[in-house]
Amino acid sequence: MATKHILVVPGDGIGQEVTAVGKKVLEKIAAKFGHTFTYDEALIGHVAIEATGNPLPDETLEKMRRSDAVLFGAVGHPKYDNDPTAKVRPEQGLLKMRKELGLYANLRPIKLFDELLGASSIKPEILKGADILFFRELTGDIYFGEKGRKNDGDTAYDIAEYSRYEVERIARKAFEAARTRRKKLCSVDKANVIETSRLWREVIQKIAPEYPDVEVEHQFVDATAMLLIKDPRRFDVVVTANLFGDILTDEASQIAGSMGMLASASVGDGTGVYEPIHGSAHDITGKGVANPLASILSAALLLDISFGLKAESEAVISAVDKVLKAGFRTRDIADAQTPAEKVLGTEAIGEEVLKFL
C-alpha cells in the first residue's frame, strides 16, 4: 500500500489525551503490517481560537483536505457554555469542518463488548447481543439553517431545512450498509409534526423498492428513544436526521456502557474524519483518567473505511476485546466487582492494547 498521510487534530480537553493513544495504535499497526503512515497535527476549537482567533484556521482546513484521513479528538470549553453572547465558539470550527469537507454521513457503531454488560445501567439480559449502526446526517438540519434573534432579542429562531438530495445520499449509504448486515433498516423521523421529517419519510419510501432485500420500518424519534432502552436488539441499521441522531446516539452510549467506548466516522465527498463521540470533558482533563478506547476504535474505523485495511482494523478491535477480557477497565467502565489494580488510566490502558497488538 502506498504511504498514507494522517492528520491528527486533538482539539480541546481530553481530545489531546485520547488522540495521542489512538496515534500510538496506528503506529503499531503500521509497524506490524508493514505500512507507512506519516503524520501531522493541526488546531481546531478553543485551542485554535486562543492561538489564532479562528476555531477552524485556514491552515487546518487545507491540511485536512491534503490528508488521507483525520484522527480527531474533541472541541469545546466551559468558558463558552454559559456565555450565549460569544460570537466565536469552538463548535463553529466543527460545523465548518463538516460542511467544507462534505462530511454528510456520520457512522456510529453501537457495539457492546460482552465484558461490559455490567457497566451499563440497563439490564444485561436486555443488552446482550445488541449491535446497531447509526447513520446520522451531518450537514443539514437545524444546525446549519438560518438562526437569529428578533423582537429586541426576546425571540430566537433556528430553521431546520433539508433538500431531497441530502436525504437521498445518506439514505443510500444506510441501505447499502444494511445489505451487509442483518438487512434491517429503521428510519427515524417526526413526520407526524415536522415538515422536514415528512420529506425525509417520503424519500425513504421512494428509495426502498430499490433495495427489496432490506426490511424497512419507520419510527418516530420519541418512540425510538424509548425502544433503544426497552429493546435495543430490535435495531440493526438506523438512519436519521442531524439533530435526532445527535441525541439518540448519546442515549445509545449506555448500550455500550459508556460514551468512552463509542467511535464514529464522518465521511462524504473527501477526507474522512474519525473521532470518539464524547466531548472535551474538561472536568477530567489533565487527570489521566479519560477512556481512550473510543479513540482507538475510531482508529480502527479509519483503517477500514479510509484505507480499506479490514484485517488491520479487526486486529485493533480484537486487541480492545482482549484487554477487556483480561479485566482491565478505565474508571467510566469499571463496576463494583472490578479490582482496583485493574482500573487503569488513559496511557496505561492504551499500553495494554498495544501489548495485544
Active-site residue set: 143, 190, 222, 246, 250
The C-alpha angle with vertex 292 and arms to 32 and 25, in degrees rounded to 5, equals: 10
Residue 156, φ and ψ in degrees, nearest 5: -115, 150
Q: Is the distance from CB of 102 to CB of 38 less than 8 angstroms?
A: no
Q: Residue 31: how many CB atoms within 10 A of its CB?
A: 12
What the block records as the C-alpha cell of 125 is 439480559
Expressed in percent and rounded to 5, the helix, strand and coil fractions of the chain are 50, 20, 35
CA distance 35 to 1: 7
If one counts every other C-beta atom within 10 angstroms of the C-beta of residue 165, the result is 10
Among residues 270, 278, 283, 269, the alpha carbon closest in space to that of 249 is found at 278
- R_g (Cα) of the chain, nearest Å: 20
**Contacts with 67 (C-beta within 8 Å, 6 or more apart), sequence order:** 5, 6, 7, 40, 271
| Angle at alpha carbon of residue 34, lines to 294 and 317, rounded to 5° | 25
Q: Return the DSSP state at 151.
A: T
